[in-house]
Amino acid sequence: MEPLSFTSDSVFLDRGRLYTVSMCPGMRIYGERLFTLSGTEYREWDPRRSKLSAYLTVGGKHFPFKKDSKVLYLGASSGTTPSHVADICAEGKVYCVEFAQRMFRDLVGTCETRPNMMPILGDATRPEEYSMFADSVDVVYQDVAQKMQAKILCDNMDAFNAKYGMVAVKARSEDVTTSPESIFKEAERVIRDRGYRIVDDEPLEPFEKAHAMIVVERD
Ligand SMILES: C[S@@+](CC[C@H](N)C(=O)[O-])C[C@H]1O[C@@H](n2cnc3c(N)ncnc32)[C@H](O)[C@@H]1O
């Protein structure tokens, strides 16, 4: 079990598979494999179920999450990836925004397993609806699979004064008639025009078709 140094030793690699240290030993969130080594329980982090794991698995090296980071997670769904982010930011806070009632019910259950996860029923296109939960965050992570993904990221980074952002851009959510490469370029243009710097841009194939992870920093 090798820690990945650029993740502040919060993500581990063993025979090509990624793991986080479980904050809640003995509990599975999505049927993931658990195993214990020297008294520490590790949870496998499946790149086919999580775009953040896919980003690391394809070689992405920009990882803004620290042990005490405050993270605004947009498009939390039932909490699969947010639960790994909560393991990583064990002394921080993960604000999990989801707008679908059905997913939100499952998300509440996942958040009950980790004291540093907070479920928020809200629409990521309207940061003013949930701005009362935090004055600022360190990282905005976004996986909402809807139109205007770059704008939503920047609006939330502005609203929460975030230094770092990551957005898993799903090309087909923007326009099915335009090539994914053009959509990713356009998303980057929007982000640059809003005054943010692109520090990485990784296609997520073969784990996610026509998706790219764009990593952003405020200067
Ligand atoms: C691809 S899923 C997210 C999966 C999750 N990030 C994970 O890795 O575990 C996208 C989620 O974004 C939610 N979503 C889409 N548009 C949204 C919006 N405007 N505000 C909040 N959630 C949104 C959807 O309901 C869906 O649950």
Report the nearest-CA residue for atom 17 of ligand 1.
144
Residue 180 Cα to ligand 1 midpoint, Å, equals: 20
Same domain? 61 vs 22? no
Same domain? 41 vs 131? no
Instruction: Tell whether ligand 1 has an atom less than 6 A from the beta carbon of residue 123.
Output: yes
Same domain? 72 vs 31? no
Give the atom of ligand 1 at the shortest distance from the alpha carbon of 78.
9
Q: Which of 45, 143, 148 to mutate to test the pocket of ligand 1 (most atoms within 8 A of CB)?
A: 143
Same domain? 72 vs 26? no
Instruction: Tell whether ligand 1 has an atom less than 6 A from the beta carbon of residue 103.
Output: yes
Q: Which of 45, 62, 77 is the last residue of a domain?
A: 45
**CATH number of the domain encompassing residue 35:** 3.30.200.20
Task: Give the range of the structural domain holding residue 155, as residue numbers without chain letter.
Answer: 51-218
Same domain? 214 vs 127? yes
Residue 20 Cα to ligand 1 midpoint, Å, equals: 22
Instruction: Tell whether ligand 1 has an atom less than 6 A from the beta carbon of residue 148.
Output: no
Q: What is the pLDDT of residues 133-144, one digit of tens each?
A: 999 999 999 999
Contacts of 162 (CB under 8 A, 6+ apart): 72, 136, 137, 138, 139, 140, 156, 218
The three-point CA angle 85-105-74 to 5° equals: 40
Instruction: Tell whether ligand 1 has an atom less than 6 A from the beta carbon of residue 124.
Output: yes
In this prediction, residue 95 carries a pLDDT of 98
**pTM score > 0.75 for this model?**
yes
Give the atom of ligand 1 at the shortest distance from the alpha carbon of 103.
27
CA–CA distance, 73 with 178 (Å, rounded to integer): 28
Q: Under DSSP, is residue 63 helix (H, G, I), strand (E, B) or coil?
A: coil
Helix (H) or strand (E) holding 117: strand 117-121
Instruction: Tell whether ligand 1 has an atom less than 6 A from the beta carbon of residue 75.
Output: yes
Same domain? 174 vs 97? yes
Sheet holding 2-3, edge to edge: 2-3, 11-14, 17-21, 40-45, 34-37
Count of domains observed in the chain = 2
Structure-block tokens of residue 30: 């999505």
CA–CA distance, 143 with 31 (Å, rounded to integer): 21
Contacts of 214 (CB under 8 A, 6+ apart): 150, 166, 167, 169, 184, 187, 188, 191, 198, 200, 201
DSSP 126-142: -GGGTGGG-S--SEEEE
Same domain? 20 vs 66? no
Q: Where do we find the tokens 């996986």? A: 143
Q: What is the pLDDT of residues 157-206, one digit of tens each?
A: 999 999 999 999 999 999 999 999 999 999 999 999 999 999 999 999 99
Report the nearest-CA residue for atom 10 of ligand 1.
144
Residue 170 Cα to ligand 1 midpoint, Å, equals: 11
In this prediction, residue 108 carries a pLDDT of 98
Nearest Cα to 218, choosing from 188, 198, 193, 190? 198
Same domain? 38 vs 59? no
Q: Is the peptide bond prior to 206 cis by the omega test (within 30 degrees of 0)?
A: yes
Same domain? 97 vs 13? no
Residue 65 Cα to ligand 1 midpoint, Å, equals: 20
CA–CA distance, 97 with 78 (Å, rounded to integer): 10
In this prediction, residue 130 carries a pLDDT of 98
Residue 9 Cα to ligand 1 midpoint, Å, equals: 28
Residue 148 Cα to ligand 1 midpoint, Å, equals: 13
The pLDDT mean for the chain works out to: 97
The mean pLDDT value for 8-21 works out to: 96
